[in-house]
Amino acid sequence: MSNISQKRRIILKTALASGAVGAAMSAGLAYTNPVTKSKNAWPKKAFNARSIDDALLELTGNSTIIPSPKKILIKAPTIAENGVAHITVKSSIPDTESISIFIPNNTSPLVANFKLTPSVINTIITRIKIESSGEIIAIIKANNKLYSAMTKMRLTVAK
Amino acid sequence: MSTNTIEARAKYNNGTTTINALITHPMESGSRIGSTVSPHFIQEVRCSYKESILLTAQWGIGMPENPYLSFSFKGGEKGEVVILKWVDNKGDSDTAEVTIK
């Protein structure tokens, strides 16, 4: 009897697992990349997280941040007109693996996560949307440690 | 999606190649007050050179309409190609081959 129920569990588990994969495929979250042919799902939980700590845990498995304003340079205007601003994040930390931009006041604090390969120079220039005046935090992952820097931005005209 | 959503340039200078890309996309967050539009935004942008990934950008709803991205990498040569590809939450995608100048 126990043998049968065990089998049943295994069947159920595999069915559930394949169902989940199928759902992800149909939602277009998992796709085959022509370059490496590897599947790389978008970190949905990290983007849905309401706090930086939760998002970081999902993204990197770690949420201990070392503040290092001298090693990370954020170039951004102090005023964001119409809620959009140009931002440059420059890291002088060796072996920078990823650069993430967080805005704690936004509905989804994680704005963007850039995964860099060693040949990429540790600078990212992009544009971000700001929902209200407040902090903008850049977090750099290097050698399994997280480093952060912060800047403040004021919002002038909302949409 | 309409064709040619990626407007990109790749410029080689003194050992490094700089890529500038502007993508035409609504980047709809789906959370505007009084709006019932469903979210529609780019989730991932991949840049590759010589069949290996250079940079993967994962974006959320905090990225604005027509997002912009710029970065540089060591190496590259004039005439070679950098490939940019984006995929959004509805499964739409576009790919561009950019020749380094």
pLDDT digits (tens, 9 = 90+) for A87-142: 999 999 999 999 999 999 998 999 999 999 999 999 999 999 999 999 999 999 99
Residue A141, amino acid? K
Q: Which of A83, A62, A77 is nearest to A140 (CA)?
A: A62
Q: How far is A3 from chain B (nearest CA, A)?
A: 43
* Neighbour count for residue B59 (Cβ, 10 Å): 29
What contacts A123, CB < 8 A, 6 or more positions away?
Answer: A88, A89, A90, A91, B71, B72
A123: its two tokens = 């600078």
Q: Indicate if the pLDDT at residue B89 is higher than 70.
A: yes
Could you give the count of Cα atoms lying within 13 Å of B60 in the half-sphere of its Cβ? 25
| pLDDT of B49 strictly over 90 | yes
pLDDT band (50, 70, 90) for residue B90: very high
**Stretch among A27-36, A118-127, B80-89 having the lowest mean pLDDT:** A27-36
Mutate: best of B16, B33, B55, B74, partner A, most A CBs <10 A: B55
Best to test chain B binding among A48, A50, A100, A125 (most B CBs inside 10 Å): A125
CB contact under 8 A, B55 and A29: no
* A24-41 average pLDDT score: 48
- Length of chain B (residues): 101
Residue of A nearest to B88 (CA): A28
Q: What is the pLDDT of residue B71?
A: 97
Structure tokens at B95: 């790919």
pTM, entire model:
0.81
Interatomic CA distance for residues B66 and B1, integer angstroms: 13
Rounded Cα–Cα distance for residues A92 and A143 (Å): 13
CB < 8 Å from B in window 82-101 of A? 83-84, 86, 101
Q: Give the range among A17-26, A106-115, A145-154 with minimum mean pLDDT.
A: A17-26
Tokens describing residue A28: 């277009």
Beginning with the edge strand found earlier in the chain, give each strand of the sheet holding A84-91 in spatial order: A72-75, A84-91, A123-129, B68-74, B16-23, B6-13
Indicate the residue type of A76: A
- ipTM of the assembly? 0.93
The answer to whether residue B85 scores a pLDDT higher than 60 is yes
pLDDT in tens, A60-89: 888 899 999 999 999 999 998 888 999 999
- The tokens for B57 are 């950008």
Tell me: pLDDT of A36 over 90.
Answer: no
**What are the tokens at A128?**
């971000």
Contact A127 B16 (CB under 8 A): no
